Chain A
Amino acid sequence: MSAVTQTAVLDRTAPRPTGAGQVRQILTLVRRNLTHIKRQPEMLTDVTIQPVMFVLLFAYVFGGSINVPGVDYKPWLLPGIMAQTIAFSAFIVAIGLNTDIGKGMVDRLRSLPIRRSSILVSRSIAALIHSSIGVAVMSVTGLFIGWRVGEGVLRGLLGYGLLLLFGFAMIWVGILVGSAMRSVEAVNGLMFTTIFPITFLSNAFARTDVMPSWLRTMAEWNPISALTQALRDNWGVAGAAVRADAPWPLQNPELATIIWSLAITALIAPLALRAFNNRTTD
């Protein structure tokens, strides 16, 4: 072949690709997702404006009717809304993943010498960051409506740790839904019609004591209730005490939250991985 070439499009003497280490792959992809948020800050409304609106709506509009005499409803409500916000991590992952699959971005990434798991891990980390921004916004909002971390720093941090742990479990749900649904609209539809009712059907917004007994049983065994109860206990929220005959998860909310998170992960993760692999292999 002739040694004389015209302007080379690329200098082929430069280093060859080796495939980045997995840490670099993940960091690179997380940065991509965070750039999305930077370019479209309105993506954050689901964890900022929406929960703040819920606080205002429930505290001032419905607050009077679901109030417990002698207990300030607003600081009591806040942990419930945080639990709801972290449950929405599933939604965030599902939308992001489904969009990437639909637009062929996952195929582009799969044609590169990277590990397939990096795609999921980076999505998950980005979603947890996304949700954490929401939790931070909620905490600041809480300061204005009388909420405080009242049981010391360690127990305060334990509350945040449980939130993150539960968010981790919800991410698998997001991967499953994002991989299985055929369009972003389908993801939207499914998530709105499940996550909202599930998070409402708990102790997050209203006391379970006054619910009809069948509803109360469902609500009290709802993982969201255990998480919310754990937050109220560890943050020393007034009115957190549960009835003496409340079921085990509400008596031991930290342990229940940990068990729920591990159980959801153990059950959903294999299904999620299979759905993702099926969807991205043909």
Chain B
Amino acid sequence: MSAQEAPVIEAVGLVKRFGDFTAVDDVSFEVPKGSVFGLLGPNGAGKTTIVRMMTTLAIPTRGSARVAGHDVVTEPEAVRASMGLTAQSATVDDLLTGRENLRLIGDLYGLPRKVVRSRADELLERFSLDESGDKVVKDYSGGMRRRIDLAVSLIAAPAVLFLDEPTTGLDPRSRVELWDVLRGLVRDGTTLLLTTQYLDEADQLADTIVVIDHGRIIAQGTPLELKDQSGAASLVVTVSRHDQVQQAAALLRGVVGDIHVDADARKLTAPAGDVAALASIAGRLDEAGIDVDDLGMQRPSLDDVFLALTGHKAEETTNEEVPA
């Protein structure tokens, strides 16, 4: 993929105001063809508002956006013909069966009837819904609803897919299954923009992550880059025997300087450190006859990144949903 190739999704200086309230504030990003772009942020960060602007459902107050080469404000029809959207809450017709939902949207896209029928069958099978395909959606479980919702968004095989919190409310197994489906789509060349509150999800799926808080981009990069941003990796040694903790600490100080010792957990943490340091420390510990349970590099998790960037934990803000 050449670097010059135009991005499939592009936002330039997007602003969205509701009255005096600025929900999205000067957001710009680019998503190259066939990649996965993650919008990460807590409740109320502005994720849905960005997705709604990108999918022609909301008009930007300022700035512009293009999807598959078409401007979302001046060429909404062309944008709609080339993208699929799975909104935050499943928008399927409760009184229709899964198959009827697929055919409804396929017909509206203007696909030939035969194609609509065969794709509907194909998608039901792909999403393990072939047995429930003729049941009304009202009788589906939450996970099944989410799957049929996603399947409906794929009926026209869109080149670009927008997913607003696709796995919220799914059990861990369904989540992993959905991730697999999404990876499959990317393998087939679909460009994906997904929003999530889950750091591990962004980490798992996204090639590029934008972290937003209060409508503003506060960090941007690959998962790896983001982790680097919140401080270097640390080196962690877990010693087997309590009586060797101090000895190991002295030895480590000699190599990497300042370290943190958690005597109870027999755990020594040294900031920074690279693979060379790791190898040299492994050698010295061995020479000194210190038994080691575990020795390795630890990268900060995206949780640490979020904390470092926003000053609050990502989870803290999501607690709002839990009734007190």
Chain A residues proximal to chain B, CB less than 8 Å? 1, 5-12, 14-21, 24-25, 28-29, 32, 35-36, 39-40, 103-105, 107-114, 281-282
CA distance A7 to B55 in the complex (A): 28
Cβ-neighbour of B95 out of A14, A18, A35, A108 (below 8 A): A35
Find out whether the CB atom of B95 lies under 8 angstroms from the CB atom of A17.
Answer: no
Inter-chain contact B185/A9, CB cutoff 8 Å:
yes
Residues of chain B touching chain A, judged by Cβ–Cβ distance below 8 Å, are 1, 18, 34, 52, 55-59, 77-78, 80-81, 83, 85, 87, 89, 91, 93, 95-96, 100, 104-105, 107-112, 115, 119, 122-123, 126, 136, 154, 156-157, 181, 184-185, 187-189
Instruction: With CB as the reference atom, state the residue of chain B lying closest to A100.
Output: B93
CA distance A15 to B89 in the complex (A): 29
Does the CB pair B56–A108 fall under 8 Å? no
Contact B81 A18 (CB under 8 A): yes
Task: Say yes or no: B108 contacts A114, CB within 8 Å.
Answer: yes
Complex CA distance for A16 and B117, rounded to whole angstroms: 15
The 4 closest A-B pairs by CB, nearest first: A20-B110, A17-B109, A104-B91, A113-B81
Contact A110 B56 (CB under 8 A): yes
- Residues of the A chain whose Cβ atoms lie less than 8 Å from the Cβ of B187: 5-6
Contact among A15, A107, A112 with B108 in the assembled complex (CB-CB below 8 Å): A112
| A28 contacts B109, C-beta separation under 8 Å | no
Q: Which of A9, A21, A282 contacts B126 (CB 8 A)?
A: A9
Find out whether the CB atom of A113 lies under 8 angstroms from the CB atom of B110: yes
- 23 pairs, CB–CB < 8 Å, chain A vs chain B: A1-B34, A1-B189, A9-B185, A10-B154, A11-B157, A14-B119, A14-B157, A16-B81, A17-B109, A18-B109, A19-B77, A20-B108, A32-B100, A35-B100, A104-B91, A105-B91, A112-B80, A112-B105, A113-B80, A113-B109, A282-B18, A282-B58, A282-B59
* A17 B96 Cβ-Cβ under 8 A: no
Contacts of B156 in A (CB 8 A): 16-17
On whether the beta carbons of A111 and B55 are closer than 8 Å, the reply is yes
Cα-based distance from A40 to B87 in the complex (angstroms):
26
Bound-state Cα–Cα, A16 to B110, Å: 9
- A-chain residues with CB within 8 Å of residue B52 when the two chains form the complex: 282
CB contacts (< 8 Å) of A6 on chain B: these are 184, 187
CA distance A15 to B56 in the complex (A): 23
Beyond A28-B104, A103-B91, A113-B81, whether A19 also contacts B189 by CB under 8 A is: no
- For the complex, what is the distance from the CA of A12 to the CA of B156, rounded to whole Å? 9
A43's nearest neighbour on chain B, judged by CB, is B95
Secondary structure dominating the interface of A: loop
- Residues of A contacting B110 in the complex (Cβ-Cβ under 8 angstroms): 17-21, 24, 113
| B residues less than 8 Å from A20 (CB atoms) | 107-110
The listed residue (B80, B108, B181) touching A25 by CB distance below 8 A is B108
- CB-defined contacts of A5 to chain B, threshold 8 Å: 187-188
Identify which of A21, A108, A113 contacts B91 (C-beta below 8 A).
A108
Q: Is B108 in contact with A28, judged by CB distance below 8 angstroms?
A: yes
> Known: A9-B181, A113-B110, A281-B59. Is A105-B93 also a contact (CB below 8 A)?
yes
Residues in chain A near residue B96, CB distance under 8 A: 32, 35, 39
Partner of B184, one of A9, A21, A24, A28: A9
Contact B184 A107 (CB under 8 A): no
B77 touches which of A1, A16, A113 (Cβ 8 Å) = A113
**Chain B proximity of A121: nearest CB distance (Å):** 14
Q: Which of A15, A35, A107 contacts B57 (CB 8 A)?
A: A107
Residue in B closest to A106 when the chains form the complex, CB atoms: B91
CB proximity of A95 to chain B, nearest CB, Å = 14
Residue of B34, B87, B95, B123 with most chain A CB atoms under a 10 A cut-off: B95
Distance in angstroms between the alpha carbons of A5 and B185 in the assembled complex? 10
Cα-based distance from A15 to B104 in the complex (angstroms): 17
Which B residue's beta carbon lies closest to that of A36? B95
Please pick, from B80, B108, B111, B184, the residue contacting A7 in the complex, using a CB distance under 8 A: B184
Residue contact B105 to A14, C-beta cutoff 8 Å: no
Give bound CA distance, A110 to B105, whole Å. Answer: 11
B81 with A9: CB separation less than 8 A: no
A9 near B188 (CB under 8 angstroms)? yes
Q: What separation, in Å, do the CA atoms of A32 and B21 have in the docked complex?
A: 38
* Beta-carbon contact of A17 and B81 below 8 Å: yes
Beyond A9-B154, A9-B181, A17-B81, 10 additional pairs, beta carbon < 8 A: A10-B154, A10-B157, A16-B156, A17-B156, A18-B81, A19-B81, A104-B87, A109-B108, A113-B80, A114-B108
Task: Determine the residue in chain A with the shortest Cβ distance to B84.
Answer: A111
With contacts A28-B104, A111-B57 known, is A12 near B188, CB below 8 A? yes
**Distance from B50 Cβ to chain A, minimum over Cβ atoms (Å):** 13
The answer to whether B87 touches A1, judged by C-beta atoms less than 8 angstroms apart, is no
- Chain A contacts for B89, CB-based, 8 A: 104
Q: Once the chains are docked, how many angstroms separate the CA of A113 from the CA of B79? A: 8
Q: Is the CB of B105 within 8 A of A12?
A: no
How far is B156's CA from A11's CA once the two chains are assembled, in angstroms? Answer: 10
Kindly state the separation between the CA atoms of A104 and B93 in the bound complex, as whole angstroms: 10
Question: Once the chains are docked, how many angstroms separate the CA of A25 from the CA of B111?
Answer: 11
Chain B residue contacts of A1, Cβ below 8 A: 1, 34, 189
Kindly provide the distance from the CB of B284 to the nearest chain A CB, expressed in whole angstroms.
44
Chain B contacts for A113, CB-based, 8 A: 77-78, 80-81, 109-110
What's the Cα separation between A114 and B181 when bound, in Å?
28
Q: Determine how close the nearest CB of chain B comes to the CB of A269; give it in whole angstroms.
A: 24
List the B side residues contacting A105 at CB < 8 Å.
91, 93
What's the least CB distance linking B19 to chain A, in Å? 11
Instruction: Name which residue of chain B comes closest to A280, CB basis.
Output: B57
Name the A residues within 8 Å of B188 (CB-CB): 5, 8-10, 12
